[in-house]
């Protein structure tokens, strides 16, 4: 909300600067986001150059038909009569005008100088409303009331320069959505004197009573607790005076005409939205506050036809809806330049209902923004009085006696609360003297009965947010100022720490970074069709994602069921920006309906379920792990690179995987190359993930042609079994013996199987068997390959001799020959 | 050989003294290893006058024998030491000369060992976790696809609150498929959590006070521009114990601000409003970039808003069965991205989710 500083000062005796009041408000809970300075530069020297003048003579410019040559009296102390050339023609000699003297700097930054305009000297300028900043465009200069004193500073009458506070209000404080409400906050927070409410009614009433012209029916009292109108007759619609335009403009509203401007002014000042109906346009002389009929249509002021439903309140006459209540008017009963008699509405609508209507229609107005917070019904009569006085003063209206007031909820009782000052001390953490607490509450217009340790506090009706003792404690705390509270730390009785899975997650991340992979975080939502290219078969739970009812875009319509599309998207982003093909990982959740999690009965409808959210580690390699370098060593990324990354990651959390071809599981991972993919099992949880080359057609489907991509996904269940305690193993005092065997076997005998057999066959002395060479080619028969196995033997009791070594070797060779027909090369 | 010994030698065995002088000169004059070997053979070899003399010592006069024997051996040891020293000297000189010829360009880059980067959001969350773990907190986790009850109702959010609208919150279609759009709006059971606060409720349902937890994770809101992404990360903390005060909250937040942002930092606590805390505050930390004078980063206020916080609203205790007269508590929440942006000077939130390696590798 925009609060012009000059307007605020009308209601509270604030002696400080705008910056000081901004700070006061911010530190007492009404955040001031900034101060905008509008109008002419604000130094007093400059402002003294804007004065009230009177046109003495006006003649045609001798050398220009469209210019006038005027003499303007700006007062003795301002230099007497000035000669001013002017291009406007909406004034005559004798008019009171706004003059900026030579040397004045305007809002635009233009500095006025004596000038020669077509051969005639011009000393100063008569200002238009546009130059004063009150209108976007104005046809001529502004003509001021005839009784303004010539020679006085214009700023005594008009805000030539204004500081506008930009407030960020919170939804719990409907009372703050007015200048007077903010003045009340300033008074409460500072102790400055608050002016009485600006709601005095018109001095004179006249004509037939209001009820002679209008009847009111409320058929939906739940949506409309109070509906009141007054009648004003004989108005002359026209332009508002400059001060009113200035106030509205500075507060962020556009001047329309004097009748509408008055309703807006009162809303801004007092917080009660008003609506002026042209009495002549109300069919049947009756206003009805009723539910709209389902499907009923209304053409709002912006020319849009809107469909209503029966949860929305309309204000109608006997024929048609005239207003979507509290939200937006229709053309049918609006005031216009021919309006003379006005029915002025001040109502109280259900905040929840207004909010719902705003959401369903997509309309939000200054009025609905206030109503949706839930206003105080006691604002109604003041709002009507205030506006009626201004109608009488500014629009020539005669206010009819009486108010038609349908107040179905009846007068609001002041809420009475118990309050323990000692409880405030206990919650805030420092003592505030009881009499000081009482004084703060009284500044908020509470009545305080201080008897005993439990007080009774009665709360003003404009503070619906004060419902409980703790709400009052907050008021006392903020008015005392939170800077008064000391800084302490709780006295803990519990220990902190990370759970095992949380520690494992960190270790996995460190391991993957150690392999050279960069961590990414991609959106949890993906396009519904992003899963298509992965080739899952019908019925696969990964094809049944968690769908958003109201996604922001088709690209983000469903929750991911696998990390792969997001990771490929990240690869593509980098490739498209000419970065080297990246190697990435992500640790995040996927969302699956396969084993729904029942919701606790107290928290949801019976039968409600949540999806499962398993955590997954996704790894994608699209280029070499080490960048190309000047020594020339570079290893192209292949399946074994990926496997090395997976092995290193598992090792970092003290796990060892067993790798096997996908076999029957291949159908579950149709996006992987069938011959270059494996699953990895881990003791304690079984299958822990898959790894392999992504099929080239799948890679291409994500816009990555001709890129070799490897992908692994590891289950978050690892976190539960990883980082077990390692137990010490004897180092062994005796030296190892090493034997290399080159065995030729059928190509499709898996290395892991050979190693396993060699270990078993070799017996206790075998400490390790590993592959140090793989050869296929001319030296071995077609369909075979040679594997170099390095067997490391060691005994805990003695140094092994030739006999021991030969025996182990013999047993291994025999077993390999027996099981796989292996021959030594 | 020191001067006293040399004088004695000259007086009592002038022949040996002459041999020593000649031998030591030859050894010291040798300027490569071959010359040194030649000098060694000439001076200490089997056929050298010294060795021959020592070998024939038995033929000497018995009175002279001890003197010559003692001095002869001294001279031999001294000469041997000279040979050894000279040899070391010559070897070192030779190695120096050879090393001097070996030069590489030390400015060429080293062998690149791969090293990846932790996403800045992970780093930031880890730092926050560590600070609070140090203060005695545990790290709690909960579902991202959440029930309305935990996300709103049990957090004291009224049914008509705008945050619940389809405009601000992502709602999830229930598993039953093909519901018409109109029904979806009414059927509001399941949503993407809009903050990490539901975890607090779930934890309080599961355990009695004292509670000291932080919850970190992904949250979702329907917003997308330079300062909003539909997914972002939050950290929230919750303390419920006997006698917890607003002063405890202030102290905790100040400690955190100094640990996280570093240095001596000032905090400023402003009143605010949240449905789940009462009193509610917003916390600012002083802007280091301008030292409080005001700059673009702090919108010329000298302060950076870092979190919303407050004393847990007693209504929440009603939902989880705590006694509001016996325990009190505080809660705080902040955006992880915002913390990282403030700390590292990052201008645009979207950079976090583009995953451009040029961004990732800066941190």
Could you tell me which residues come within 8 angstroms of residue A803 by beta carbon, excluding any fewer than 6 positions away? none
Asked if residue B254 has pLDDT above 90, the reply is: yes
Contacts 24+ apart (CB under 8 A), B296-305: B297/B342, B297/B345, B299/A33, B299/A34, B303/B268, B304/B342
What integer pLDDT is reported at residue A825 of this predicted model?
Answer: 84
What integer pLDDT is reported at residue B177 of this predicted model?
Answer: 43
What integer pLDDT is reported at residue A63 of this predicted model?
Answer: 86
| Integer Cα distance of B72 and B17 in angstroms | 9
Classify burial at A192, counting beta carbons within 10 Å of its beta carbon; exposed 0-12, middle 13-18, buried 19 or more: middle
What integer pLDDT is reported at residue B93 of this predicted model?
Answer: 92
Q: Which of A134, A179, A136, A135 is nearest to A154 (CA)?
A: A134
Maximum distance among all alpha carbons in chain B? 133
Classify burial at A819, counting beta carbons within 10 Å of its beta carbon; exposed 0-12, middle 13-18, buried 19 or more: middle
The CATH class given to the A210-407 domain equals alpha beta
A44-159 against A500-721: fold identical: no
The CATH code for residues A44-159 is 2.40.50.140
Hey, which residues does A786 pair with through a beta bridge?
A: A744, A775
Rounded to a whole number of angstroms, the distance from the CA of A478 to the nearest CA of chain B is: 6
DSSP B345: T
Asked if residue B186 has pLDDT above 60, the reply is: no
Average pLDDT rounded to a whole number, residues B94-108: 91
Domain A415-480 has CATH 2.40.30.110: no
Q: Token pair 């607090």 is at which residue? A: B200
What integer pLDDT is reported at residue A708 of this predicted model?
Answer: 95
Asked if residue B248 has pLDDT above 80, the reply is: yes
| Integer Cα distance of A147 and A159 in angstroms | 18
Identify which has the larger pLDDT, A695 or B286. Answer: A695
Q: Token pair 């300062």 is at which residue? A: B227
Task: Specify the CATH superfamily of domain A737-824.
Answer: Ferrodoxin-fold anticodon-binding domain (3.30.70.380)
| Integer Cα distance of A430 and A161 in angstroms | 44
Edge-to-edge strand ranges of the sheet holding A615-621: A518-519, A583-589, A615-621, A710-715, A686-694, A672-682, A658-661
Tokens of A32: 């001031």
A494 and B210 within 8 Å at the Cβ level: the answer is yes
Exposure string over B276-297, b if 16+ CB within 10 A, otherwise e: bbbbbbbbbbbbbeeeeeeeee
Rounded to a whole number of angstroms, the distance from the CA of B94 to the nearest CA of chain A is: 31
Closest chain A CA to residue B186: A549
What integer pLDDT is reported at residue B185 of this predicted model?
Answer: 41
Best B114, B217, B237, B352 residue to mutate vs chain A (most A CBs within 10 Å): B114
Q: Note whether A523 contacts B: Cβ–Cβ < 8 A.
A: yes
**Ordered DSSP codes for A468-533:** SHHHHHHHHHHHH-GGGS--------S--B--HHHHHHHHHHHHHHHTTPEE----SEE-GGGGGG
DSSP B187: -
Chain B residues within an 8 Å CB radius of A604:
147-149, 189
Tokens of B24: 């030591």
Best A425, A521, A649 residue to mutate vs chain B (most B CBs within 10 Å): A521
Among the partner-chain residues A485, A596, A613, the one whose CB lies closest to the CB of B144 is: A613
- Is the separation of the CB atoms in B65 and B6 below 8 Å? no
Asked if residue B57 has pLDDT above 90, the reply is: no
- Is the separation of the CB atoms in B270 and A31 below 8 Å? yes
Contacts A–B by Cβ distance under 8 A:
280
- Is the separation of the CB atoms in A585 and A620 below 8 Å? yes
Chain B residues within an 8 Å CB radius of A577:
356, 358
All structural domains of chain A with their residue ranges: 2-40+163-190, 44-159, 210-407, 415-480, 500-721, 737-824
Asked if residue B178 has pLDDT above 70, the reply is: no
| Integer Cα distance of B286 and B302 in angstroms | 6
Hey, which residues does A620 pair with through a beta bridge?
A: A584, A711
For residue A353, give Cα distances in angstroms to A28, A229, A271: 31, 21, 19
Q: Which of A170, A163, A125, A604 is nearest to B161 (CA)?
A: A170
| Integer Cα distance of A442 and A452 in angstroms | 17
What integer pLDDT is reported at residue A372 of this predicted model?
Answer: 92
Number of neighbouring beta carbons within 10 Å of residue A776:
12
Classify burial at B357, counting beta carbons within 10 Å of its beta carbon; exposed 0-12, middle 13-18, buried 19 or more: buried
Closest chain B CA to residue A358: B162
Of A328-332, A508-512, B283-287, B338-342, the range with the lowest mean pLDDT is A328-332
ipTM computed for the complex: 0.87
Tokens of A299: 């053409």
Asked if residue B179 has pLDDT above 60, the reply is: no
How does pLDDT run across A222-256, given as a tens digit for each residue?
999 999 999 999 999 998 998 999 999 999 999 99
Phi, psi (deg, nearest 5) at residue B17: -60, -40
| Integer Cα distance of B4 and B8 in angstroms | 6
Best B357, B359, B363 residue to mutate vs chain A (most A CBs within 10 Å): B357
The CATH code for residues A2-40+163-190 is 3.30.56.10
What integer pLDDT is reported at residue A140 of this predicted model?
Answer: 87
Percent of chain B predicted with pLDDT > 70: 96
Q: Note whether A48 contacts B: Cβ–Cβ < 8 A.
A: no
Q: For chain A, which residues score pLDDT lower than 70?
A: none
Average pLDDT rounded to a whole number, residues B34-39: 93
**Ordered DSSP codes for A716-752:** TTHHHH-SPPP------SSPPEEEEEEEEEETTS-HH
How does pLDDT run across B207-220, given as a tens digit for each residue?
999 999 999 999 99
Phi, psi (deg, nearest 5) at residue A442: -70, -35
Rounded to a whole number of angstroms, the distance from the CA of A574 to the nearest CA of chain B is: 6
What integer pLDDT is reported at residue B175 of this predicted model?
Answer: 55
Classify burial at A536, counting beta carbons within 10 Å of its beta carbon; exposed 0-12, middle 13-18, buried 19 or more: buried
At residue A613's C-alpha, the angle toward residues A607 and A619, to 5°, is: 160
Q: Which of B344, B288, B297, B330 is nearest to B124 (CA)?
A: B344
| Integer Cα distance of A223 and A29 in angstroms | 31
What integer pLDDT is reported at residue B180 of this predicted model?
Answer: 43
Q: Note whether A634 contacts B: Cβ–Cβ < 8 A.
A: no
Chain A residues within an 8 Å CB radius of B218:
524, 588-589
| Integer Cα distance of A230 and A210 in angstroms | 6
Q: What angle separates helix B246-261 from helix B120-134, to the nearest 10 degrees? A: 130
Pick the CATH number of A500-721 from 3.30.930.10, 3.30.379.10, 3.30.1450.10, 3.40.470.10: 3.30.930.10
Q: What angle separates helix B64-100 from helix B14-29, to the nearest 10 degrees? A: 10
What integer pLDDT is reported at residue A359 of this predicted model?
Answer: 83
């Amino acid at each position: 909300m925009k609060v012009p500083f000059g307007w605020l000062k009308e209601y509270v005796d604030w002696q400080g600067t705008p910056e000081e009041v901004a700070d006061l408000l911010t530190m007492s809970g009404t955040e001031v986001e900034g101060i905008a300075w509008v109008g002419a530069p604000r130094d007093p020297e400059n402002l003294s150059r804007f004065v009230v003048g009177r046109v003495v003579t006006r003649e045609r410019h001798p050398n220009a038909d469209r210019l006038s040559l005027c003499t303007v009296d700006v007062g003795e102390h301002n230099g007497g009569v000035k000669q001013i050339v002017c291009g406007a023609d909406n004034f005559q000699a004798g008019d009171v005008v706004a003059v900026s003297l030579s040397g004045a700097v305007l809002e635009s930054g233009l500095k006025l100088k004596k000038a020669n305009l077509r051969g005639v000297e011009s000393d100063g300028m008569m200002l238009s409303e546009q130059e004063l900043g009150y209108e976007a465009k104005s046809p001529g200069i502004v003509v001021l009331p005839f009784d303004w004193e010539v020679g006085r500073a214009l700023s005594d009458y008009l805000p030539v320069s204004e500081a506008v506070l930009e407030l960020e209000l919170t939804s719990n404080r409907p009372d703050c959505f007015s200048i007077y409400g903010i003045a009340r906050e300033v008074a409460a927070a500072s102790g400055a004197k608050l002016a009485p409410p600006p709601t005095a009614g018109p001095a004179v009433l006249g004509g037939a009573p209001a009820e002679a012209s209008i009847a009111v029916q409320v058929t939906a009292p739940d949506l409309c607790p109070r509906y009141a109108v007054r009648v004003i007759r004989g108005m002359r619609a026209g332009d508002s005076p400059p001060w009113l335009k200035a106030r509205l403009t500075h507060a962020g509203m556009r001047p329309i005409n004097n009748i509408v401007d008055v309703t807006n002014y009162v809303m801004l000042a007092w917080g009660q939205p008003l609506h002026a109906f042209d009495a002549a346009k109300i069919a049947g002389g009756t206003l009805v506050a009723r539910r709209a009929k389902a499907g009923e249509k209304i053409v709002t002021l912006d020319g849009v036809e809107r469909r209503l439903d029966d949860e929305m309140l309309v204000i109608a006459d006997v024929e048609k809806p005239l207003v979507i209540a509290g939200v937006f008017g229709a053309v049918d009963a609006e005031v216009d330049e021919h309006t003379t008699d006005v029915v002025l509405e001040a109502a109280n609508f259900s905040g929840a209902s207004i909010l719902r209507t705003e959401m369903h229609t997509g309309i939000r107005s200054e009025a609905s923004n206030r109503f949706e917070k839930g206003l105080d019904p006691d604002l109604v009569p003041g709002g009507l009085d205030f506006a009626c006085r201004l109608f009488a003063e500014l629009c020539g209206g005669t206010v009819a006696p009486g108010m038609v007031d349908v107040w179905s909820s009846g007068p609001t009782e002041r809420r009475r609360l118990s309050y323990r000052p000692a409880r405030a001390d206990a919650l805030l953490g420092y003592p505030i003297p009881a009499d000081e607490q009482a004084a703060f509450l009284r500044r908020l217009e509470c009545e305080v009965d201080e008897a005993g340790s439990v007080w009774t506090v009665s709360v003003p009706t404009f503070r619906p947010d004060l419902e409980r003792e703790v709400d009052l404690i907050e008021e006392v705390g903020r008015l005392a100022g939170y800077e008064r509270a000391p800084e302490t730390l709780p006295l803990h009785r519990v220990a902190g720490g990370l759970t095992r899975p949380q520690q494992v997650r960190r270790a996995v991340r460190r391991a993957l970074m150690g392999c050279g992979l960069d961590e990414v975080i991609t959106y949890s939502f993906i396009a519904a069709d992003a899963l298509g290219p992965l080739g899952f078969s019908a019925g696969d739970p990964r094809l049944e994602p968690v769908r958003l009812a109201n996604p922001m875009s088709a690209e983000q319509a469903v929750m991911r069921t696998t990390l792969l599309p997001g990771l490929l998207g990240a690869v593509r982003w980098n490739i498209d920006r000419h970065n080297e093909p990246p190697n990435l990982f992500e640790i995040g959740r996927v969302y699956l309906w396969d084993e729904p999690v029942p919701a606790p009965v107290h928290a949801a409808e019976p039968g409600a379920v949540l999806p499962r959210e398993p955590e997954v580690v996704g790894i994608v390699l699209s280029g070499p792990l080490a960048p190309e370098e000047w020594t020339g060593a570079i290893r192209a990324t292949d399946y074994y690179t990926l496997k090395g990354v997976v092995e290193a990651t598992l090792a970092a959390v003290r796990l060892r995987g067993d790798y096997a071809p996908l076999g029957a599981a291949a159908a579950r991972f149709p996006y992987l190359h069938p011959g270059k993919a494996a699953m990895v099992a881990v003791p304690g949880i079984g299958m822990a993930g898959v790894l392999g080359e992504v099929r080239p057609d799948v890679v291409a489907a994500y816009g990555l042609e001709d890129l070799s991509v490897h992908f692994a996904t590891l289950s978050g269940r690892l976190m539960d079994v990883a980082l077990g305690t390692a137990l010490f193993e004897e180092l062994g005092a005796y030296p190892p013996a090493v034997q290399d065997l080159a065995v030729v076997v059928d190509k499709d005998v898996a290395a892991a199987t050979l190693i396993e057999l060699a270990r078993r066959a070799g017996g206790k002395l075998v400490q390790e068997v590993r592959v140090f060479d793989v050869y296929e080619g001319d030296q071995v028969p077609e369909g075979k390959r040679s594997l170099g196995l390095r067997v490391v033997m060691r005994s805990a009791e003695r140094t092994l001799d030739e006999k021991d070594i030969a025996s182990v070797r013999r047993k291994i060779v025999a077993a390999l020959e027996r099981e796989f027909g292996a021959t030594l090369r | 050989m020191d001067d006293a010994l040399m004088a004695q030698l000259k007086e009592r065995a002038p022949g040996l003294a002459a041999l020593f002088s000649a031998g030591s000169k030859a050894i010291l004059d040798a300027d490569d290893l071959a010359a040194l070997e030649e000098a060694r053979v000439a001076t200490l070899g089997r056929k050298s006058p010294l060795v021959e003399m020592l070998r024939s010592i038995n033929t000497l006069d018995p009175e002279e024998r001890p003197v010559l024997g003692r001095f002869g051996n001294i001279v031999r040891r001294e000469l041997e030491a000279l040979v050894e020293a000279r040899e070391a000297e010559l070897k070192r000189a030779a190695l120096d000369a050879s090393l001097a010829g070996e030069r590489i360009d030390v400015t060429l880059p080293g062998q690149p060992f791969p090293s990846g980067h932790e996403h800045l959001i992970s780093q930031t969350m880890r730092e926050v976790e560590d600070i609070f773990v140090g203060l005695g907190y545990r790290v709690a986790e909960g579902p991202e696809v959440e029930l309305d009850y935990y996300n709103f109702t049990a957090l004291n959010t009224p049914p008509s609150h705008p945050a619940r609208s389809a405009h601000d919150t992502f709602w999830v279609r229930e598993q039953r498929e093909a519901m018409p759009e109109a029904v979806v709006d009414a059927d509001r059971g399941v949503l993407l959590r809009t903050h990490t606060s539901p975890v607090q409720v779930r934890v309080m349902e599961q355990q009695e006070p004292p509670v000291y937890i932080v919850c970190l994770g992904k949250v979702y809101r329907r917003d997308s521009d330079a300062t909003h992404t539909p997914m972002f990360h939050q950290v929230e903390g919750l303390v419920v114990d006997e006698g917890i005060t607003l002063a405890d909250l202030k102290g905790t937040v100040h400690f955190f601000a100094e640990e996280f942002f570093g240095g001596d930092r000032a905090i400023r606590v402003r009143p605010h409003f949240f449905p789940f805390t009462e009193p509610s505050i917003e916390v600012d930390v002083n802007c280091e970039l301008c030292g409080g004078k005001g700059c673009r980063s702090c919108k010329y206020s000298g302060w950076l808003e870092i979190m919303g916080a407050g004393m847990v609203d007693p209504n929440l205790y009603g939902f989880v069965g705590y006694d509001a007269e016996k325990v009190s508590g505080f809660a705080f929440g902040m955006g992880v991205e915002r913390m990282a942006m403030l700390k590292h000077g990052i201008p645009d939130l979207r950079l976090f989710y583009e995953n451009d390696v040029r961004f990732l590798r800066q941190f």
